[in-house]
Each structure stands twice: as C-alpha cells, then as structure tokens.
Amino acid sequence: MSDIKLHLDPQKIPQHIAIIMDGNGRWAKKNGQPRLYGHKVGVTSVKEITEACAELGVKHLTLYAFSTENWNRPILEVTGLMSLLVDTVKLELRTLLKNDIRLNAIGDLNGMPEKTRNALLSGIRETSSNKRMQLNLALNYSSRWEILEAAKKIASDALSAQFNKEINEDYFSSLLSTKDIPDPDLLIRTSGEQRISNFLLWQLAYTELYFTDVLWPDFRKEQLYKAILDYQSRERRFGMISEQLL
C-alpha cells in the first residue's frame, strides 16, 4: 500500500472530486508522439483514477473530457477523440459494471456526433443501477452555456401565468446539468495551468482548488493521494471563521 494513502483520513475523503485533465498533447510532444497518442495514454489514467476514487469511497468523480471550445482543435484530433471515446466506453463497460460504477454525462450531448452519443447513452443505460460511485463525463460542456440555458429556462417559465416559484440558489441549481450531483469538494487540474477554463463555474463556489505540474498521462494513484492529502490539510470555512467550526 502507498505510504501517502496510509496517511489519508478515511473520515475526510472528498465526496465529489472534479478533474480538469490537462497535458495530454504536451505529454505526447515530450515523448515524440502525435497528440492523439497522449489522449490514448490518458485513458489509462482515467481508468486508474476512477478505480482509486471508488476504492477510497468517493461518491462522485467528474472529468472534464471535452469542452465546447475543443471543437476548435485540429479536425484530425477532434475526430480521433470522438472515436477514442466510443472505444473507451465499450472497452471499459465491463470494468464499470464490476466496480459498481454508474456512468453519467453532463453537457450538450445533442451536439455530439451520433455514433459517440449513442455509445455514451448505451453505457449510461447499462450502468444505471450501479451505486458505489458515479462517474460524470463533461462532454461538449461549457459552464457559461449551462448557466445561459438555465437563465433562458427561467425567462421562458416566467412568462407563464402558472409560474410561482421563488428564484433562489436551489431553484437555479435545479436547472443545471448537475442538478442531481453535489457540488465538488475538490477540483484538481493537471499540467501546471492554474485556471478554471469554463468548468463548473457555479458549482465551484466553495470548492478547494489543487493545481499540479504533473501532465495528465502521468497522473496516477500516488498523485491523487497527494491531492487528497493536501485537501485534508485545509480548513473549509464556507465564509465563517475558524471558531464557528468548533
């Protein structure tokens, strides 16, 4: 067992971890390979981190897999990513079922290629009864898009004579694609970049942020344990002072 894992407090494991998986392309370039090769190796990290989170008792793992801005990347990379997603969902379905992990997706799935969307929805259906942990893939996702869609829904509903809801945080949250998912306790971003990149802007209001220089294909269990250990060293006050938490 990892020495770092032995130092983790099982009572303070974050219940929802969100990860911006960054650095696949740079990892590939560093190793003299095309960018898509970095994404393929990154899938191994996805598998290992997913299994490690389930073992630790994390209830939700949300991975930023493909943003709306990623459509602007070279066409060969985008096409390869869509194909890789289809293959990964099919290949890892047995692992998800064995580990009692439920697959879920957030984002504008209608904007995904039909073959990719169908493979994803099939995986979601087949794992729908699993209960140990939920793996949320953010695909064709943009937090600004998500917030705008919620605002449009409120504006549309407000025109109805039957609309009688109080517009508060709970109501607004219920209109987001994460409506059934608790806000993240911990956000991890790999590759040394220190920004949120249009990811879960509403949901990250009180999330602990952890940035690491490790590129995503090199991010494995040891790096996850380090991030959680750092998280456990922090005091989460949610706007209060330390004495109020005693």
Instruction: Please state the domain count of the chain.
Output: 1
Distances (CA, A) of 64 to 21, 142, 201: 6, 10, 13
| 103 and 65 Cβ atoms separated by less than 8 Å | no
| 150 within domain boundaries | no
Please indicate whether residue 70 is annotated as part of the active site. yes
- pLDDT for 238: 59
| 157 within domain boundaries | no
- pLDDT for 243: 57
- Pair of tokens at residue 121: 């929805």
Beta strand pairing call for 186-189 and 60-67: unpaired
- Pair of tokens at residue 7: 């130092």
User: Would you write out the chain's pLDDT as a tens digit for each of its 246 residues?
Assistant: 679 999 999 999 999 999 999 999 999 999 999 999 999 999 999 999 999 999 999 999 999 999 999 999 999 999 999 999 999 999 999 999 999 999 999 999 999 999 999 999 999 999 999 999 999 999 999 999 999 999 999 999 888 877 888 999 999 999 999 999 999 999 999 999 999 999 999 999 999 999 999 999 999 999 999 999 999 999 876 565 555 555
| Residues in CB range of 182: below 8 A, 6 or more apart | 15, 16, 59, 60
- pLDDT for 15: 98
* Distance, CA of 31 to CA of 24 (rounded, Å): 11
Domain holding 220, by residue range, is 12-142+183-234
Please indicate whether residue 22 is annotated as part of the active site. yes
Task: Given the residues 9, 70, 136, 218, select the one marked as catalytic.
Answer: 70
| 134 DSSP β-pair partners | 60, 102
| 156 within domain boundaries | no
- pLDDT for 126: 98
* Distance, CA of 184 to CA of 19 (rounded, Å): 10
How many residues are listed for the chain in this entry? 246
Neighbour-count burial of 93, counting CB atoms closer than 10 A to its CB (0-12 exposed, 13-18 middle, 19+ buried): middle
Distances (CA, A) of 234 to 37, 198, 210: 36, 25, 11
Q: Please name the residue that has the structure tokens 């169908």.
A: 118
| 152 within domain boundaries | no
Task: Given the residues 22, 140, 185, 218, select the one marked as catalytic.
Answer: 22
| 219 within domain boundaries | yes
| 239 within domain boundaries | no
* Residue 109: closest CA among 68, 137, 140: 140
pTM above 0.75, yes or no: yes
CATH number at residue 134: 3.40.1180.10
- pLDDT for 163: 83
